[in-house]
Amino acid sequence: MSAAAQPRLPIVVLISGNGSNLQTLIDAAARGELPVDIRAVISNRPAAYGLERARRAGIPAVVVNHGGYPGRAAFDAALQRAIDAHQPGLVVLAGFMRILTPEFVAHYHGRMLNVHPSLLPAFRGLDTHRRALEAGVKEHGVSIHFVTAELDGGPVVAQEKIPVLPGDDAESLAQRVQAAEHILYPRVIRWFAEGRLTLRENRAMLDGEPVKVLATNE
Protein backbone atom coordinates (compact mmCIF):
# COMPACT_ATOMS: atom_id res chain seq x y z
CA MET A 1 0.00 0.00 0.00
CA SER A 2 1.39 3.40 -0.88
CA ALA A 3 1.68 6.17 1.71
CA ALA A 4 -0.95 8.12 -0.18
CA ALA A 5 -3.45 5.25 0.21
CA GLN A 6 -2.86 4.75 3.93
CA PRO A 7 -4.84 6.44 6.69
CA ARG A 8 -2.96 9.60 7.55
CA LEU A 9 -1.75 9.82 11.13
CA PRO A 10 -2.58 13.20 12.72
CA ILE A 11 0.58 14.77 14.14
CA VAL A 12 1.57 18.02 15.81
CA VAL A 13 5.11 19.33 15.35
CA LEU A 14 6.86 21.39 18.04
CA ILE A 15 9.64 23.76 17.02
CA SER A 16 11.70 26.60 18.43
CA GLY A 17 13.63 27.84 15.42
CA ASN A 18 14.27 27.49 11.71
CA GLY A 19 12.23 24.36 11.18
CA SER A 20 14.35 22.55 8.59
CA ASN A 21 13.18 19.14 9.82
CA LEU A 22 9.62 20.46 9.77
CA GLN A 23 10.06 21.42 6.12
CA THR A 24 11.28 17.93 5.33
CA LEU A 25 8.13 16.49 6.90
CA ILE A 26 5.88 18.96 5.08
CA ASP A 27 7.50 18.09 1.75
CA ALA A 28 7.42 14.33 2.33
CA ALA A 29 3.73 14.47 3.28
CA ALA A 30 2.94 16.60 0.23
CA ARG A 31 4.67 14.07 -2.04
CA GLY A 32 2.64 11.25 -0.53
CA GLU A 33 5.75 9.62 0.92
CA LEU A 34 4.75 10.15 4.56
CA PRO A 35 1.24 9.12 5.69
CA VAL A 36 0.70 11.96 8.16
CA ASP A 37 -1.61 14.93 8.50
CA ILE A 38 0.28 17.79 10.15
CA ARG A 39 -2.55 19.30 12.16
CA ALA A 40 -0.52 22.15 13.66
CA VAL A 41 2.97 23.51 14.20
CA ILE A 42 3.51 24.96 17.66
CA SER A 43 6.45 27.10 18.77
CA ASN A 44 7.49 28.56 22.08
CA ARG A 45 9.16 31.43 20.20
CA PRO A 46 6.99 33.87 18.22
CA ALA A 47 9.83 34.70 15.80
CA ALA A 48 10.62 31.08 14.89
CA TYR A 49 10.94 30.87 11.11
CA GLY A 50 9.36 27.44 11.15
CA LEU A 51 6.03 29.12 11.82
CA GLU A 52 6.30 30.82 8.44
CA ARG A 53 7.03 27.46 6.83
CA ALA A 54 3.81 26.15 8.36
CA ARG A 55 1.77 29.13 7.17
CA ARG A 56 3.06 28.76 3.63
CA ALA A 57 1.93 25.13 3.67
CA GLY A 58 -1.51 26.04 4.98
CA ILE A 59 -0.85 24.48 8.38
CA PRO A 60 -2.06 26.22 11.55
CA ALA A 61 0.90 28.00 13.17
CA VAL A 62 0.47 28.37 16.91
CA VAL A 63 2.57 30.26 19.44
CA VAL A 64 2.71 29.30 23.10
CA ASN A 65 5.34 31.76 24.31
CA HIS A 66 7.18 30.32 27.31
CA GLY A 67 7.99 33.88 28.39
CA GLY A 68 4.35 34.48 29.19
CA TYR A 69 4.16 31.87 31.95
CA PRO A 70 5.49 31.93 35.52
CA GLY A 71 7.19 28.55 35.30
CA ARG A 72 7.65 25.26 33.47
CA ALA A 73 4.52 23.64 34.87
CA ALA A 74 2.25 26.48 33.75
CA PHE A 75 3.86 26.62 30.32
CA ASP A 76 3.63 22.86 29.84
CA ALA A 77 -0.04 22.89 30.85
CA ALA A 78 -0.76 25.57 28.23
CA LEU A 79 1.31 23.71 25.64
CA GLN A 80 -0.56 20.49 26.36
CA ARG A 81 -3.91 22.23 25.85
CA ALA A 82 -2.70 23.65 22.54
CA ILE A 83 -1.50 20.24 21.35
CA ASP A 84 -4.56 18.31 22.47
CA ALA A 85 -6.88 20.72 20.67
CA HIS A 86 -5.62 19.06 17.47
CA GLN A 87 -5.96 15.45 18.76
CA PRO A 88 -2.64 14.14 17.42
CA GLY A 89 -1.66 10.49 17.38
CA LEU A 90 1.99 11.55 17.55
CA VAL A 91 3.84 14.62 18.83
CA VAL A 92 7.03 15.35 16.90
CA LEU A 93 9.77 17.44 18.50
CA ALA A 94 11.80 19.07 15.74
CA GLY A 95 14.27 21.43 17.32
CA PHE A 96 12.03 22.21 20.30
CA MET A 97 14.38 23.75 22.84
CA ARG A 98 12.51 23.30 26.10
CA ILE A 99 12.99 20.83 28.92
CA LEU A 100 9.59 19.25 29.51
CA THR A 101 8.07 18.34 32.87
CA PRO A 102 7.58 14.67 33.78
CA GLU A 103 3.81 15.20 33.88
CA PHE A 104 3.78 16.54 30.33
CA VAL A 105 5.96 13.71 29.05
CA ALA A 106 3.79 11.10 30.78
CA HIS A 107 0.70 12.47 29.05
CA TYR A 108 2.24 11.62 25.65
CA HIS A 109 3.96 8.40 26.71
CA GLY A 110 4.72 6.25 23.67
CA ARG A 111 3.56 8.90 21.21
CA MET A 112 6.24 11.60 21.31
CA LEU A 113 9.49 11.45 19.32
CA ASN A 114 12.57 13.66 19.31
CA VAL A 115 15.55 14.10 17.02
CA HIS A 116 18.91 14.68 18.70
CA PRO A 117 22.18 15.60 16.93
CA SER A 118 24.48 13.00 18.46
CA LEU A 119 24.87 9.26 18.82
CA LEU A 120 23.06 8.92 22.14
CA PRO A 121 23.87 8.36 24.92
CA ALA A 122 26.88 10.46 23.94
CA PHE A 123 26.55 14.25 24.11
CA ARG A 124 23.12 14.74 25.57
CA GLY A 125 21.99 18.36 25.78
CA LEU A 126 23.26 21.31 23.75
CA ASP A 127 26.31 22.14 21.59
CA THR A 128 26.74 18.55 20.52
CA HIS A 129 28.92 19.25 17.48
CA ARG A 130 31.43 21.41 19.33
CA ARG A 131 31.58 18.90 22.17
CA ALA A 132 32.10 16.01 19.75
CA LEU A 133 35.02 17.82 18.13
CA GLU A 134 36.55 18.71 21.48
CA ALA A 135 36.27 15.08 22.56
CA GLY A 136 38.14 13.97 19.45
CA VAL A 137 35.58 11.34 18.42
CA LYS A 138 35.90 9.80 14.97
CA GLU A 139 32.14 9.30 14.52
CA HIS A 140 29.23 11.59 15.29
CA GLY A 141 25.65 11.43 14.09
CA VAL A 142 21.94 11.67 14.80
CA SER A 143 19.53 9.76 17.02
CA ILE A 144 15.74 9.48 16.98
CA HIS A 145 14.25 8.49 20.31
CA PHE A 146 11.02 8.26 22.24
CA VAL A 147 10.74 11.09 24.76
CA THR A 148 10.84 10.29 28.46
CA ALA A 149 11.33 12.44 31.54
CA GLU A 150 15.11 11.88 31.32
CA LEU A 151 16.68 14.55 29.09
CA ASP A 152 17.67 12.93 25.78
CA GLY A 153 17.46 9.61 27.61
CA GLY A 154 14.42 7.91 26.11
CA PRO A 155 14.64 4.64 24.17
CA VAL A 156 16.55 5.13 20.93
CA VAL A 157 14.70 4.08 17.78
CA ALA A 158 17.34 4.68 15.10
CA GLN A 159 20.71 6.30 14.58
CA GLU A 160 22.85 7.32 11.64
CA LYS A 161 26.62 7.64 11.94
CA ILE A 162 28.52 10.52 10.36
CA PRO A 163 32.31 10.40 10.11
CA VAL A 164 34.21 13.30 11.61
CA LEU A 165 36.47 14.51 8.83
CA PRO A 166 39.86 16.24 9.06
CA GLY A 167 39.29 19.97 9.12
CA ASP A 168 35.71 19.72 10.36
CA ASP A 169 34.39 22.55 12.46
CA ALA A 170 31.09 22.65 14.31
CA GLU A 171 29.30 24.20 11.33
CA SER A 172 30.47 21.70 8.72
CA LEU A 173 29.72 18.80 11.04
CA ALA A 174 26.28 20.22 11.82
CA GLN A 175 25.43 20.44 8.12
CA ARG A 176 26.17 16.76 7.51
CA VAL A 177 24.33 15.70 10.64
CA GLN A 178 21.31 17.76 9.62
CA ALA A 179 21.31 16.14 6.17
CA ALA A 180 21.13 12.76 7.91
CA GLU A 181 18.29 14.01 10.14
CA HIS A 182 16.26 14.94 7.05
CA ILE A 183 16.46 11.33 5.83
CA LEU A 184 16.15 9.46 9.12
CA TYR A 185 13.38 11.38 10.89
CA PRO A 186 10.72 10.95 8.17
CA ARG A 187 11.61 7.26 7.96
CA VAL A 188 11.05 6.74 11.69
CA ILE A 189 7.82 8.75 11.66
CA ARG A 190 6.62 6.61 8.77
CA TRP A 191 7.30 3.48 10.83
CA PHE A 192 5.14 4.92 13.61
CA ALA A 193 2.38 6.01 11.22
CA GLU A 194 2.29 2.52 9.70
CA GLY A 195 1.89 0.95 13.13
CA ARG A 196 5.30 -0.75 12.92
CA LEU A 197 6.96 1.29 15.69
CA THR A 198 5.73 1.17 19.28
CA LEU A 199 7.01 1.69 22.80
CA ARG A 200 6.52 -1.35 25.00
CA GLU A 201 7.76 -1.52 28.60
CA ASN A 202 10.20 1.28 27.81
CA ARG A 203 11.61 -0.61 24.83
CA ALA A 204 11.34 0.68 21.28
CA MET A 205 9.79 -2.10 19.20
CA LEU A 206 9.83 -2.33 15.39
CA ASP A 207 7.63 -4.98 13.78
CA GLY A 208 7.18 -6.55 17.21
CA GLU A 209 10.91 -6.92 17.91
CA PRO A 210 13.29 -4.70 19.91
CA VAL A 211 14.82 -2.22 17.50
CA LYS A 212 18.40 -2.69 16.39
CA VAL A 213 19.99 0.72 16.68
CA LEU A 214 21.79 1.78 13.48
CA ALA A 215 19.64 -0.60 11.40
CA THR A 216 18.21 2.28 9.39
CA ASN A 217 17.92 0.81 5.90
CA GLU A 218 14.57 -0.99 6.25
CATH of the domain at 161: 3.40.50.170
Residue 127 lies in a domain: yes
Task: Round the average pLDDT of the chain to a whole number and report it.
Answer: 94
Cis peptide upstream of residue 121 (ω within 30 degrees of 0): yes
The total domain count for the chain is 1
Amino acid, single-letter form, for residue 51: L
Residue 217 lies in a domain: no
Q: Is 116 a catalytic residue?
A: yes
Q: Record the pTM.
A: 0.94
Assign 176 to helix, strand or coil.
Answer: helix
| C-alpha distances in Å from residue 100, one per residue of 71, 212, 217 | 11, 27, 31
Residue 216 lies in a domain: no
Task: Quote the pLDDT of residue 6.
Answer: 67
- 53, 29 contact by CB (below 8 A): no
Residue 131 lies in a domain: yes
Share of the chain above pLDDT 70, in %: 95
Q: β-strand 90-93 against 61-63: which pairing, if any?
A: unpaired
Residue 107 lies in a domain: yes
Question: How many Cβ atoms are within 10 Å of 96's Cβ, its own excluded?
Answer: 23
pLDDT above 70 for 1: no
- Nearest in space to 157 (alpha carbons), one of 133, 132, 137, 186: 186
pLDDT above 50 for 218: no
For the stretch 142-169, what's the b/e string if a residue is b when 16 or more beta carbons lie within 10 angstroms of its beta carbon?
A: bbbbbbbeeebebbbbbbbebebeeebe
Q: Which residues pair with 41 in a beta bridge?
A: 13, 61
Q: Dump pLDDT digits (tens) for 30-76.
A: 999 999 999 999 999 999 999 999 999 999 999 999 999 999 999 99
Residue 159 lies in a domain: yes
Please give the angle made by the CA atoms of 205, 98 and 52, to the nearest 5 degrees: 95
- Nearest in space to 204 (alpha carbons), one of 151, 148, 125, 163: 148
- Nearest in space to 92 (alpha carbons), one of 50, 41, 53, 46: 41
Q: Dump pLDDT digits (tens) for 133-192.
A: 999 999 999 999 999 999 999 999 999 999 999 999 999 999 999 999 999 999 999 999
Residue 194 lies in a domain: yes
From the list 86, 107, 109, 116, the catalytic residue is 116
- 45, 73 contact by CB (below 8 A): no
Q: Could you list the residue range(s) of the whole structural domain that residue 126 is in?
A: 3-210
Residue 138 lies in a domain: yes
In the chain, the largest separation of any two C-alpha atoms, in whole Å, equals 48
